[in-house]
Amino acid sequence: MILALKNIFTDTGNIALFIGRFFKELFLPPFQINEFLRQCYAVGFKSLPLVTITGFIMGLVLTIQSRPTMAKFGAETWLPSMVSLSLIREIAPVITALICAGKIASSISAELGSMKVTEQIDAMEVSAVNPYKYLVVTRILATTIMVPILVIYADLVGVYGGYIGYNIHGDITMFRYFSDVFEHLEFLDIIPATIKTFFFGFFIGMIGCYKGFNASNGTAGVGIAANSAVVSASLSIFIIDMLAVQITDFFF
């Protein structure tokens, strides 16, 4: 028990130092623009198919499952606004972030872990290249920027999926459907949900880089690091979401 607590506090301190080094290196030249853009492509564009399918299914299933209950109360006309608010405020940000945690955090951790155990990171240091600047800063920045964009895209796809789901048992034009959606949608529904996705992206990239950058014990350690990155990133998403909901409820 004491050893487990010691490991928790040690990891917490190391992560804090890791984050502090990120903000220190972020503003120091040279700036790895090409590597940053390459990571944005890998994180963002290559995740689009999975996010598209997931977002569409979320909107479709939520609409189909909610329709019978809404019909019992004669509130079918509220279905577009209810589905869109549920997706934009909570479901789409969290589910998309979890998908990114599974796909991106594990990929980053495995890639950096492989470089660590094969001593490629040490070789970069010998070659007078700052591996933290090149490998870590670019990836954390890419996830911090691209995850919110993916979430906004998932919101749009999910709302469209809700439109398709509504028309399976009903008949509504796209103009009328989206008019109902935007009529009940406010900026206070969008802004807090978008702000927290930047924190989702930051911690997904940070945890993936931290676990990979500190991998050890050969190839077995790479697998452990990748698995640990997914679990830790997913847990951090739920904690951030809980805090964001409490803060939003307090201020708004």
Q: Tell me the pLDDT band of 11, cut-offs 50, 70 and 90.
A: confident
Report the chain's mean pLDDT, rounded to a whole number: 86
Quick one: pLDDT at residue 138? 92
pLDDT at 50: 92
Check: CB of residue 58 under 8 Å from CB of residue 159. no
Q: How far is CA 95 from CA 67, 99, 100, 197, 228, in A?
A: 21, 6, 9, 11, 19
pLDDT score, position 65: 87
Angle CA 32–36–25, to nearest 5: 50
Assign 74 to helix, strand or coil.
coil
Mean pLDDT throughout 178-200?
A: 86
Beta-carbon contacts of 66 under 8 Å, excluding residues fewer than 6 positions away, are 79, 82, 83
* Mean pLDDT on 20-36: 84
Q: For residue 4, what pLDDT is reported?
A: 63
Eight-class DSSP state of 30:
P
Q: Give the residue from 151, 139, 175, 160 showing the smallest Cα distance to 35.
A: 139
Let me know: does 174 contact 207? Beta carbons within 8 Å: no
Q: How confident is the model at residue 140 (pLDDT cuts 50, 70, 90)?
A: very high
Tell me what pLDDT residue 185 has.
Answer: 82
Poorest-pLDDT segment among 8-12, 73-77, 113-117, 187-191: 73-77
Tell me what pLDDT residue 190 has: 85
* Confidence category of residue 182, pLDDT binned at 50, 70, 90: confident
Q: What is the average pLDDT across 128-135?
A: 81
Residue among 43, 154, 164 at smallest CA distance from 91: 154
Instruction: Note the pLDDT tens digit of each residue in 40-86.
Output: 998 988 899 999 999 999 999 988 888 887 777 777 778 888 888 88
pLDDT interval class at 152 (50, 70, 90): very high
Q: Torsion over CA of 113, 116, 119 and 120, rounded to 10 degrees?
A: 80
Question: What mean pLDDT comes out for the span 29-36?
Answer: 84
Sign for the CA dihedral angle at 93, 94, 97, 99 comes to negative
The pLDDT assigned to 55 comes to 92
